[in-house]
Amino acid sequence: MYPASEIYGGFANAFDYGPLGSQLKLNLKNEWWKRFVVGRDDIVGMDSAIIQNPKVWEASGHLGSFTDPLVECKKCHKRFREDHVEEAKSLISTPPNLPSERGGKDGLTPEQKEMLVCASGGEHDFAEAKNFNLMFKTFIGVTEDSTSTAYLRPETAQGMFINFLNVTQSSRVKIPFGIGQIGKAFRNEITPGNFTFRTREFEQAEIEYFVEPSLDESKKWFTYWLARWKEFFTDFGIKDENLTIRAHDKSELSHYSAGTSDIEYDFPFGMSELAGVAQRTKFDLEQHEKHSGIEQKYFDEANNKKYIPYVVEPTMGVDRATLAFLVDAYDESDGTDGREKGEVTLRLDPRLAPIKVAVFPLMKKEGMPEIAKEIIADLRSAGVATFYDESGSIGRRYRRQDEIGTPFCITIDFDSIKEKTVTVRDRDTMKQERIKISKLNDCLLEKL
């Protein structure tokens, strides 16, 4: 990942995903979609517009309630989130004792230091907190006034609520069922930071799961989805001990939620929210019914009843998940596992790894590059992301691939010419097996 707009000095807290990063993130989104949309008969997918009629945000409560309390220093006029300033202050009164990589000797990040020390000297002199709406405004068409104001969506969820009727009428879904969506969301965060953890433009993967309208049903599905959500992270390699489930207390709940639990990950900067599951009850559909004047009810044929369903919402940040998978996979050798001390292996699940197979000719002659290129062409036609490398020693080529998480490396040597076999080396065990070239595709596809 690169700092966005880097040649112009960057653009605070925005990042671009490069060749490997974009593939890693895409693999993650594809696996999510395969598991939760394609892999289930009770969930359908959708892709809604980012800019919707502003009435959507009036109805959803985002125009009125999607705010953060902000404090402004009367001396330097810098603004910070009030809760973040309180958190930074509490860290000084109770020394956090964090290791230096988590924010310097005193345990404070540069952002937290800025919250405590005014640029004009001494402490900040904060005025009363004011509420600040986090939605990005834009204008539609040529005039720039209140009649043309529109907003970039702050969550993908509303696109699914406002299409509830379209989906129920066009896809024959029956309650309980869900709608899933992956897409960009935008929030004018006051204190973004910690790399891609909190940015102003980010991606979400969300499901709105519609159930019969009772708190018991809602709680049952809430428990179900919390387990499925955590499982997604552990099945793709995140260590269970690095995840925690934390229930929100009443003061933290979003304006739409009757109960939320976060799945937190032990990031290098501390335990922080990675994903969450909320009980949104009938809040959103009821609001859209009121504001649009169009009934948002479901006819339950099995029970001969008409009602607004309750909603359980599992949600995750795609950028945060990408970051967590990267952090969790990062492994520096202590020198006792056959690698040299300090050598890095990215132990990504093969399904997430940006490159699946690297192919090396031992020499740049004797027909070895030609065999390597044929193998690459075969793997590519089977949809496998490959990389060709003919420079440096084989050990060096392995190390380059270990660092980017490539699970398998193939070497073409003299036996490849004589016996039509190659070696396949496993990133994690470093073991090598000899495999017939004719069996290579099937063997690798099975491993992947």
73 or 316: CB nearest ligand GAP:
316
Locus of tokens 């492994």: 331
Segment interacting with ligand GAP, rule: CB under 6 A, options 125-133, 138-146, 170-178, 311-319: 311-319
The reply to whether 25 sits near ligand GAP by the rule CB under 6 A is no
The reply to whether 275 sits near ligand GAP by the rule CB under 6 A is yes
**Closest of 89, 111, 109 to residue 101, by C-alpha:** 109
157 or 372: CB nearest ligand GAP:
157
316 or 375: CB nearest ligand GAP:
316
260 or 416: CB nearest ligand GAP:
260
Q: Compute the distance between CA of residue 186 and CA of residue 366 in angstroms, rounded to an integer.
A: 55
The reply to whether 230 sits near ligand GAP by the rule CB under 6 A is no
103 or 276: CB nearest ligand GAP:
276
The reply to whether 284 sits near ligand GAP by the rule CB under 6 A is no
The reply to whether 319 sits near ligand GAP by the rule CB under 6 A is yes
**Sign of the dihedral defined by the CA atoms of residues 74, 76, 78, 80, in that order:** negative
Helices assigned H by DSSP within 342-404:
368-381, 394-404
Q: Compute the distance between CA of residue 161 and CA of residue 315 in angstroms, rounded to an integer.
A: 14
Q: Compute the distance between CA of residue 27 and CA of residue 44 in angstroms, rounded to an integer.
A: 20
82 or 319: CB nearest ligand GAP:
319
Size of residue set near ligand GAP by CB under 6 A: 19
DSSP-assigned letter for residue 256 = T
Q: Which residues contact 233 (CB under 8 A, 6 or more apart)?
A: 243, 263, 265, 274, 275, 321, 324
Q: What is the largest CA-CA distance in the chain?
A: 80
Segment interacting with ligand GAP, rule: CB under 6 A, options 27-35, 272-280, 384-392, 439-447: 272-280
Query: Which residue in 189, 378, 390, 415 binds ligand GAP (CB under 6 A)?
Result: 189
Omega within 30 of 0 (cis) for the link into 176: yes
Query: Which residue in 316, 375, 412, 444 binds ligand GAP (CB under 6 A)?
Result: 316
The reply to whether 317 sits near ligand GAP by the rule CB under 6 A is yes
Residues 426/440, Cβ–Cβ less than 8 Å? no
Query: Which residue in 84, 187, 282, 397 binds ligand GAP (CB under 6 A)?
Result: 187
The reply to whether 322 sits near ligand GAP by the rule CB under 6 A is no
Residues 71/191, Cβ–Cβ less than 8 Å? no
Residue ranges binding ligand GAP (CB under 6 A) = 155, 157, 187, 189, 198-199, 202, 204, 206, 273-276, 313, 315-317, 319-320
